[in-house]
Amino acid sequence: MFKNRLLCAYLCVFIWILIPALLFSQEKTHNLASPDNKIMITAGVKSGRPYYSVSKDEQMIIDKSYLGFIFRDGPFNSDFELKEIKRNTFDETWKPTWGEESAIRNNYNELILTVEEKLGLKRQLIIHFRAFNDGAAFRYEFPKQKNLTEFVIMDEETEFNFSQAYDAWSIPFPTEFYEALYTRKNITQIDTAVTPVTFQKEGWPYVSIHEANLTDYASLNLKNTGHSTNLKSCLTPLSSGERVLMKSPHFTPWRTIIITGKASDLLLSRMMLNLNEPCKIKDVSWIKPGRYIGIWWGMHMKKYTWEIGPKHGAATENVKRYIDFAAKHHFAGVLVEGWNHGWEDWKSYDFLTPYPDFDIKKITDYAASKNVKLIGHHETGGNTIKYERQMDSAFIFYKKYGVDAVKTGYVSSFLDGKERNGSQYGIRHYRKVIETAARHHIMIDNHEPAMPTGLQRTYPNLMTQEGVRGQEWDAWSADGGNPAGHTTIIPFTRGLAGPMDFTPATFNFTNTAMPDTRVHTTLAKQLALFVVLYSPLQMASDMIENYEGKPEFEFITQCPTNWSRTIVPHAEIGEYLTIVRKDIDSDNWFLGSITNETPRDLKLHCDFLDKGAIYIAHIYKDGPGAHYLTNQYPVTIEEKEVSSSDILELKLAPGGGMGVFFEKK
C-alpha cells in the first residue's frame, strides 16, 4: 500500500514537471510585435511542425502556415521540438549610395527560434522572424552541425495561408525573362506565380510577397496547393530537378510580406533593402546615377542593325552624333549595342574585338572631350560559361577606354542551353558578374536578369535591371504593344523588387517597323513615366531625331535620377498613380502622374513644398483632345507660381499623364 502511494506521488511530480515542459516545447506560441504594435507575428511548434501567422490591427492576414523542407534524403519539416528562443530589437538610419530617399530607417523587432529533431539525426534548424511597421519577414538558417553538412533541397515547404480569398496581381511561372503582363485573379485561381505577387481585397490591407537577399539559392515562386487560399513556396529548379545544392552553415533568403493599409504605402516600403547586407564597396565615389540615350530604338525601328553592314548602328560617326546630342542636353552617357564581333550568329560573341567601323578609342576620346561617357554592352546570348571566361578581360578592356557602365544581356530561353535565370545556377552567375564588375569599378544594367531582391544595397554598382515587359514591346510585340494600364500595375508588382530599366520617353508614336504595334500612351504620359518608374540609370529611349525641336523634351533634360525624398499622393493598382520626388542635389521637386484607359481629375495638395517658399511649377499636361489611341501628341505647357498651401489640378486624358517640375525661386 505504501509503495503504491509512493509511486503515485512520484507520478504526480513527474507529470507536474513534464506537462509544462511539453507545453513550452510543443504548443506554446510566441508573439512578436512590430515597433508600432500594429503587426503581430505568432510562431511556434505544433505536433512537431514549425509554423507562423501574421496579423495587422488584429486582422489575421496569414493564418497558421507551416515551415520546413524536403531534402533529397527525405522530409525536414516535422518531428521538431523547440530548443531555444532569442529576442532582439534594432533601430538605425542608414544612407544608400543612391535611391528614392537619402536616408532609410531600419527598425524591427526580432524573434529567433531554434528547433531540433526529437529523434534520429537530431538536426537543427533556426528560424529568424522580424516584424517591421510595414510587414513581416523570416528566413531559415542551417547552422554548422555534424549531421547536416552537404545536402540537397528538393523543395521548400514554406506556406502562406491567407485568411481571406484575396485577389492577386501576378505573372505565371515560368515566364521568359519575367516579361509578361500582370493580371488580376482570385488567389484560388493561381497556379504558380513569380514573386513579387501583390494581393488586394476591399476592406483589407494590401499585401505583397517576395524575397530579400537572394544569395546562392533558388528564386522564390508561389504555388497554389489546390484552388485554395493557401500558397506554398516553389523554388526555381536546376536542370537536374534539384532546387538547391547546400552546404552548412548557410542562410536562405528572407521571405518578405509587405502589409500596408494603402496601395501607396506599398511603394514606400524599404523592408527588402533593410533585409540586405550593408554596402560592401568601400569607395563608392565612382558609382553615379544619371540619364542616358542610345542607338537602341533605331534598331527596333529597323533604321540600324546590330551586326555590321550598310545600316550598322554602332558605326563611329553615328555614335558621335549621339554623343553630340547627349552633350548638348546634359545626358551622362550613350549606350551603344552591336559594337563587337559575334552578332552574326549569337554564339561567338567576342567582348574584346570591336567591329572595324567602331573605333572605340576615337569614340571614347570624343565623348570625354564633351563630358559624356560611352555605356558599354555585353550581350551573352545566355552563354554564361563563355562570358565568365572573358569577363575580367572584358571589364579591363572597357576601363582602358573610360567606360564605367555596362548593360549585360542574356537573350536565350535558358542559360547555357539548360538552366533558368532564376535557378541557383543563374543566381550564382549574376552575383559573380556584379562582384567582378565592382572590382573593376563598373556599374551594371542587367537585362534578362533574375528577379531583383535588394542586392543594390550591398553592391550599389548593380544600378538597374530589366525583368519587366518594358517599352521595347511597343516596338515589336505581335500583340500590338503594352496596354495603357500596364504602367499603372508594374510599380506595385515588379517595381517592388527594385529599379526597372523600362526605357520610357518615346516621342514618336509611328512604328515604321511594325505599323500595328505602338506605344499606348499620350506624350505627356511618357514624360510622367520618367518620374514614376524609378531607375537610377534612366534611359530616354527614342532616336535623337524625334527629340529635336520638341519643347516637351526639356522636362526629360531637367529630370534627375537620384532622389532625397519620395511621396505617393494618389495610388490605385491598375488605375492611376502619382509620385512626387525631391532632387537630392537641389530644392526642386518633380511630379509624374499617370492613368490607365480612363481619364482622371485628381487634386494635388502641394504641402510637400517648403513652407513660406515660392516655386515655379513647369507643367506638362495632356493637351486638348489628347487620347492614347487617337490623338497622342497634344501637350499643354504652362508655368505658374505655387506654394505649400496650393492645390494643383491634375487632369489626365485617357492613357495620359502629367509631368511637373517645381523649381524653387
Catalytic positions are: 472
What DSSP string describes 355-388?
-TT--HHHHHHHHHHTT-EEEEEEE-TT-HHHHH
- CA 40 – CA 309 distance, rounded (Å): 63
Q: Which residues contact 614 (CB under 8 A, 6 or more apart)?
A: 641, 642, 643, 664, 665
70 to 53, 144, 156, 582: CA distances (angstroms): 21, 19, 6, 48
Burial grade of 637 (CB within 10 A; 0-12, 13-18, 19 or more): middle
H-run or E-run covering 393:
helix 384-400
Give which of 160, 65, 269, 537 is closest to 170, Cα–Cα: 160
**Strands in 163-196 per DSSP E:** 167-170, 183-186, 192-194
Give which of 156, 261, 267 is closest to 204, Cα–Cα: 261
Chain-centroid distance of CA 236 in Å reads 17
DSSP-derived 3-state class of residue 537? strand
Residue 279 C-beta-side C-alpha neighbours within 13 Å: 15
Q: Which three three-digit cell numbers place residue 453?
A: 531582391
- CA 317 – CA 321 distance, rounded (Å): 6
345 to 89, 350, 385: CA distances (angstroms): 56, 12, 17
Residue with cell 542586392: 455
- CA 235 – CA 221 distance, rounded (Å): 6
Residue with cell 533604321: 303
**Strands in 191-271 per DSSP E:** 192-194, 197-200, 206-212, 220-224, 230-235, 244-247, 250-251, 254-260
Whether cis (ω within 30° of 0) applies to the bond prior to 654 is: no
Q: At what angle do helices 384-400 and 424-439 cross, to 10 degrees?
A: 10
The one-letter amino acid at 242? E
Q: Which residues contact 75 (CB under 8 A, 6 or more apart)?
A: 68, 69, 157
DSSP-derived 3-state class of residue 500? strand
Torsion angles phi and psi, residue 436, rounded to 5: -65, -45
The one-letter amino acid at 617? A
370 to 38, 145, 337, 486: CA distances (angstroms): 54, 59, 21, 37
40 to 24, 54, 169, 199: CA distances (angstroms): 20, 6, 25, 19
